[in-house]
Amino acid sequence: MAGHNYLSDPKNPFFSLEDDVDDETFLRNAPVRTAPPGRYQNFDNDVTQKCQQLLQRRKEIEERTIQSSERSVSLLRDSEQIGVATAEELIRQREQLQRTEKRLDDINSTLRFSQKHIQGIKSVFGSLKNYLSGKSLDAPIPSTKLSESSSSGSMTSPALSNTLEQVQNDMSSSYLSTKMRGNYDNGLEDVRPTNDRVTKVLEQNLNEMSGSLAKLKHLAIGLSEEIDSQNDLIDNITDKTEKADIMLQQQNKDMLHLLKK
Protein backbone atom coordinates (compact mmCIF):
# COMPACT_ATOMS: atom_id res chain seq x y z
CA MET A 1 0.00 0.00 0.00
CA ALA A 2 3.08 2.22 0.22
CA GLY A 3 2.94 5.00 -2.30
CA HIS A 4 -0.76 4.39 -2.98
CA ASN A 5 -2.83 7.49 -3.66
CA TYR A 6 -6.39 7.61 -2.56
CA LEU A 7 -8.38 8.72 -5.61
CA SER A 8 -10.87 11.37 -5.18
CA ASP A 9 -14.52 10.84 -5.63
CA PRO A 10 -15.42 12.45 -8.95
CA LYS A 11 -18.83 13.30 -7.49
CA ASN A 12 -17.24 15.18 -4.55
CA PRO A 13 -16.03 18.60 -5.70
CA PHE A 14 -14.15 19.22 -2.38
CA PHE A 15 -11.58 16.45 -2.77
CA SER A 16 -9.19 16.17 -5.74
CA LEU A 17 -6.10 14.20 -6.66
CA GLU A 18 -3.86 17.08 -5.55
CA ASP A 19 -5.16 16.73 -2.00
CA ASP A 20 -4.40 13.05 -1.78
CA VAL A 21 -1.15 11.82 0.00
CA ASP A 22 0.53 8.48 0.13
CA ASP A 23 0.67 6.26 3.25
CA GLU A 24 4.26 7.05 4.28
CA THR A 25 3.72 10.78 4.12
CA PHE A 26 0.53 10.45 6.14
CA LEU A 27 2.23 8.41 8.89
CA ARG A 28 5.25 10.69 9.09
CA ASN A 29 3.17 13.79 9.43
CA ALA A 30 0.75 12.30 11.97
CA PRO A 31 0.72 14.40 15.22
CA VAL A 32 2.27 12.84 18.34
CA ARG A 33 -0.41 12.27 20.98
CA THR A 34 0.47 11.78 24.64
CA ALA A 35 -1.87 10.00 26.96
CA PRO A 36 -3.11 12.17 29.84
CA PRO A 37 -2.50 10.98 33.44
CA GLY A 38 -4.88 8.16 34.04
CA ARG A 39 -6.52 6.75 37.10
CA TYR A 40 -3.60 4.34 37.66
CA GLN A 41 -1.23 7.21 38.28
CA ASN A 42 -3.70 8.82 40.67
CA PHE A 43 -4.07 5.50 42.49
CA ASP A 44 -0.29 5.23 42.94
CA ASN A 45 -0.17 8.74 44.37
CA ASP A 46 -2.95 7.94 46.82
CA VAL A 47 -1.20 4.76 48.00
CA THR A 48 2.08 6.61 48.49
CA GLN A 49 0.38 9.33 50.47
CA LYS A 50 -1.44 6.79 52.63
CA CYS A 51 1.83 4.99 53.38
CA GLN A 52 3.51 8.23 54.37
CA GLN A 53 0.64 9.12 56.68
CA LEU A 54 0.74 5.70 58.33
CA LEU A 55 4.51 5.90 58.80
CA GLN A 56 4.21 9.36 60.32
CA ARG A 57 1.46 8.17 62.65
CA ARG A 58 3.55 5.19 63.65
CA LYS A 59 6.54 7.42 64.45
CA GLU A 60 4.35 9.68 66.58
CA ILE A 61 2.99 6.69 68.51
CA GLU A 62 6.51 5.36 69.05
CA GLU A 63 7.72 8.73 70.30
CA ARG A 64 4.78 9.06 72.68
CA THR A 65 5.41 5.54 73.97
CA ILE A 66 9.07 6.31 74.61
CA GLN A 67 8.23 9.58 76.35
CA SER A 68 5.64 7.84 78.52
CA SER A 69 8.11 5.14 79.56
CA GLU A 70 10.74 7.79 80.33
CA ARG A 71 8.26 9.68 82.53
CA SER A 72 7.51 6.44 84.38
CA VAL A 73 11.22 5.81 84.88
CA SER A 74 11.66 9.35 86.22
CA LEU A 75 8.79 8.94 88.69
CA LEU A 76 10.18 5.64 89.91
CA ARG A 77 13.60 7.22 90.42
CA ASP A 78 12.02 9.97 92.49
CA SER A 79 10.23 7.30 94.54
CA GLU A 80 13.55 5.51 95.08
CA GLN A 81 15.17 8.71 96.33
CA ILE A 82 12.26 9.35 98.68
CA GLY A 83 12.49 5.77 99.96
CA VAL A 84 16.24 6.09 100.52
CA ALA A 85 15.79 9.41 102.33
CA THR A 86 13.09 7.84 104.52
CA ALA A 87 15.34 4.89 105.34
CA GLU A 88 18.23 7.19 106.26
CA GLU A 89 15.93 9.26 108.47
CA LEU A 90 14.67 6.12 110.21
CA ILE A 91 18.25 5.04 110.88
CA ARG A 92 19.03 8.44 112.43
CA GLN A 93 15.83 8.21 114.45
CA ARG A 94 16.86 4.77 115.71
CA GLU A 95 20.20 6.17 116.86
CA GLN A 96 18.38 8.87 118.83
CA LEU A 97 16.03 6.32 120.35
CA GLN A 98 18.96 4.13 121.32
CA ARG A 99 20.70 7.05 123.03
CA THR A 100 17.47 7.86 124.85
CA GLU A 101 17.10 4.26 125.97
CA LYS A 102 20.69 4.16 127.20
CA ARG A 103 20.19 7.33 129.23
CA LEU A 104 17.06 5.84 130.75
CA ASP A 105 19.06 2.74 131.64
CA ASP A 106 21.62 4.98 133.36
CA ILE A 107 18.86 6.85 135.18
CA ASN A 108 17.20 3.64 136.36
CA SER A 109 20.56 2.25 137.45
CA THR A 110 21.23 5.40 139.45
CA LEU A 111 17.75 5.31 140.96
CA ARG A 112 18.19 1.70 142.02
CA PHE A 113 21.49 2.56 143.61
CA SER A 114 19.87 5.53 145.39
CA GLN A 115 17.02 3.31 146.51
CA LYS A 116 19.49 0.99 148.19
CA HIS A 117 20.97 3.96 150.00
CA ILE A 118 17.55 5.05 151.16
CA GLN A 119 16.68 1.54 152.29
CA GLY A 120 19.98 1.40 154.13
CA ILE A 121 19.27 4.69 155.82
CA LYS A 122 15.82 3.52 156.84
CA SER A 123 17.04 0.17 158.17
CA VAL A 124 19.93 1.54 160.19
CA PHE A 125 18.51 4.91 161.02
CA GLY A 126 18.83 4.15 164.70
CA SER A 127 22.40 2.91 164.43
CA LEU A 128 24.95 5.34 162.98
CA LYS A 129 27.71 2.77 163.27
CA ASN A 130 26.05 0.27 160.97
CA TYR A 131 25.30 3.00 158.50
CA LEU A 132 28.92 4.25 158.44
CA SER A 133 30.30 0.73 158.01
CA GLY A 134 28.64 0.59 154.58
CA LYS A 135 28.51 -3.21 154.62
CA SER A 136 24.98 -3.19 153.31
CA LEU A 137 25.81 -0.94 150.39
CA ASP A 138 26.35 -2.38 146.98
CA ALA A 139 28.12 -0.82 144.03
CA PRO A 140 25.90 0.53 141.27
CA ILE A 141 25.15 -1.86 138.47
CA PRO A 142 26.80 -0.69 135.23
CA SER A 143 24.32 0.56 132.71
CA THR A 144 25.87 -1.62 130.01
CA LYS A 145 24.65 -4.73 131.80
CA LEU A 146 21.21 -3.31 132.33
CA SER A 147 20.86 -2.40 128.70
CA GLU A 148 21.40 -5.99 127.62
CA SER A 149 17.68 -6.61 127.98
CA SER A 150 17.05 -4.09 125.25
CA SER A 151 20.05 -5.03 123.10
CA SER A 152 17.82 -7.10 120.85
CA GLY A 153 16.03 -3.94 119.77
CA SER A 154 19.21 -1.85 119.44
CA MET A 155 20.31 -3.32 116.16
CA THR A 156 19.23 -1.62 112.98
CA SER A 157 17.02 -3.83 110.83
CA PRO A 158 19.37 -5.91 108.62
CA ALA A 159 16.83 -5.88 105.80
CA LEU A 160 16.71 -2.09 105.82
CA SER A 161 20.49 -1.61 106.01
CA ASN A 162 21.24 -4.17 103.31
CA THR A 163 18.46 -2.93 101.06
CA LEU A 164 19.51 0.69 101.54
CA GLU A 165 23.10 -0.08 100.57
CA GLN A 166 22.00 -2.15 97.58
CA VAL A 167 19.56 0.50 96.37
CA GLN A 168 22.18 3.25 96.63
CA ASN A 169 24.67 1.18 94.63
CA ASP A 170 22.04 0.29 92.03
CA MET A 171 20.98 3.92 91.73
CA SER A 172 24.56 4.98 91.00
CA SER A 173 25.04 2.32 88.33
CA SER A 174 21.59 3.02 86.89
CA TYR A 175 22.29 6.74 86.50
CA LEU A 176 25.61 5.95 84.83
CA SER A 177 23.93 3.69 82.28
CA THR A 178 21.25 6.33 81.73
CA LYS A 179 23.91 8.92 80.97
CA MET A 180 25.53 6.57 78.46
CA ARG A 181 22.16 5.90 76.89
CA GLY A 182 21.52 9.63 76.67
CA ASN A 183 24.74 10.07 74.72
CA TYR A 184 23.63 7.30 72.40
CA ASP A 185 20.28 8.98 71.83
CA ASN A 186 21.91 12.34 71.16
CA GLY A 187 23.97 10.77 68.43
CA LEU A 188 20.78 9.67 66.71
CA GLU A 189 18.72 12.80 67.28
CA ASP A 190 18.86 13.71 63.56
CA VAL A 191 17.51 10.30 62.58
CA ARG A 192 13.89 9.43 63.25
CA PRO A 193 13.35 6.39 65.49
CA THR A 194 13.75 3.09 63.73
CA ASN A 195 12.34 -0.24 64.82
CA ASP A 196 15.62 -1.33 66.38
CA ARG A 197 16.18 1.91 68.26
CA VAL A 198 12.62 2.11 69.57
CA THR A 199 12.74 -1.51 70.70
CA LYS A 200 16.08 -1.00 72.42
CA VAL A 201 14.99 2.15 74.25
CA LEU A 202 11.71 0.59 75.38
CA GLU A 203 13.47 -2.55 76.60
CA GLN A 204 15.96 -0.46 78.58
CA ASN A 205 13.19 1.63 80.12
CA LEU A 206 11.09 -1.42 80.97
CA ASN A 207 14.07 -3.18 82.52
CA GLU A 208 14.86 -0.11 84.60
CA MET A 209 11.22 0.17 85.67
CA SER A 210 11.19 -3.48 86.69
CA GLY A 211 14.40 -3.03 88.69
CA SER A 212 13.06 0.10 90.36
CA LEU A 213 9.85 -1.66 91.37
CA ALA A 214 11.86 -4.54 92.85
CA LYS A 215 14.04 -2.11 94.82
CA LEU A 216 11.00 -0.20 96.03
CA LYS A 217 9.45 -3.47 97.19
CA HIS A 218 12.58 -4.38 99.16
CA LEU A 219 12.72 -0.86 100.57
CA ALA A 220 9.10 -1.12 101.66
CA ILE A 221 9.80 -4.43 103.42
CA GLY A 222 12.87 -3.01 105.13
CA LEU A 223 11.04 0.14 106.19
CA SER A 224 8.14 -1.89 107.55
CA GLU A 225 10.47 -4.08 109.61
CA GLU A 226 12.40 -1.06 110.85
CA ILE A 227 9.21 0.75 111.87
CA ASP A 228 7.99 -2.33 113.75
CA SER A 229 11.36 -2.63 115.47
CA GLN A 230 11.37 1.03 116.44
CA ASN A 231 7.82 0.73 117.74
CA ASP A 232 9.08 -2.00 120.07
CA LEU A 233 11.98 0.24 121.02
CA ILE A 234 9.60 3.09 121.78
CA ASP A 235 7.51 0.74 123.93
CA ASN A 236 10.66 -0.19 125.86
CA ILE A 237 11.52 3.48 126.32
CA THR A 238 7.98 4.18 127.52
CA ASP A 239 8.14 1.34 130.05
CA LYS A 240 11.54 2.45 131.32
CA THR A 241 10.37 6.05 131.56
CA GLU A 242 7.33 5.03 133.60
CA LYS A 243 9.52 2.83 135.79
CA ALA A 244 11.96 5.68 136.40
CA ASP A 245 9.09 8.03 137.21
CA ILE A 246 7.59 5.58 139.71
CA MET A 247 10.96 5.01 141.38
CA LEU A 248 11.63 8.74 141.57
CA GLN A 249 8.24 9.48 143.14
CA GLN A 250 8.75 6.67 145.65
CA GLN A 251 12.18 7.93 146.61
CA ASN A 252 10.84 11.45 147.07
CA LYS A 253 8.20 10.10 149.44
CA ASP A 254 10.81 8.10 151.34
CA MET A 255 13.10 11.11 151.65
CA LEU A 256 10.26 13.31 152.89
CA HIS A 257 9.34 10.62 155.39
CA LEU A 258 12.92 10.41 156.64
CA LEU A 259 13.22 14.17 156.92
CA LYS A 260 10.10 14.31 159.11
CA LYS A 261 11.62 11.93 161.61
pLDDT digits (tens, 9 = 90+) for 9-65: 555 555 555 555 566 665 666 565 555 555 556 666 777 888 888 888 988 998 999
In a domain, 25, yes or no: no
In a domain, 18, yes or no: no
In a domain, 139, yes or no: no
- pLDDT of 188 reads 45
Identify the sign of the CA torsion 125, 130, 136, 137. positive
In a domain, 144, yes or no: no
In a domain, 10, yes or no: no
pTM over 0.75: no
Domain count for the chain: 1
In a domain, 232, yes or no: yes
Angle at 157 between CA 153 and CA 159, to 5 degrees: 155
In a domain, 137, yes or no: no
Residue 89 pLDDT grade (very low, low, confident, very high; cuts 50, 70, 90): very high
- pLDDT of 195 reads 73
Separation CA 76–CA 123 (nearest Å): 69
Which residue segment(s) compose the domain that 228 sits in?
43-122+163-168+199-260
Window from 42-51, 53-62, 67-76, 188-197 with minimum mean pLDDT:
188-197
In a domain, 14, yes or no: no
CATH number at residue 92: 1.10.287
* Count of Cβ atoms closer than 10 Å to residue 102 Cβ: 16
Concatenating the DSSP letter of every residue in the chain gives -TTPPPPPPTT-TT--GGG---HHHHHHTSPP-PPPP-HHHHHHHHHHHHHHHHHHHHHHHHHHHHHHHHHHHHHHHHHHHHHHHHHHHHHHHHHHHHHHHHHHHHHHHHHHHHHHHHHHHHHTTT-HHHHHH-TT--PPPPHHHHGGGGGGGSSPPHHHHHHHHHHHHHHHHHHHHHHHHHHHHHHTTTSPPPHHHHHHHHHHHHHHHHHHHHHHHHHHHHHHHHHHHHHHHHHHHHHHHHHHHHHHHHHHHHHHHHHH-
| Residue 228 pLDDT > 60 | yes
Separation CA 73–CA 146 (nearest Å): 49
Residue 137 pLDDT grade (very low, low, confident, very high; cuts 50, 70, 90): very low
- pLDDT of 182 reads 54
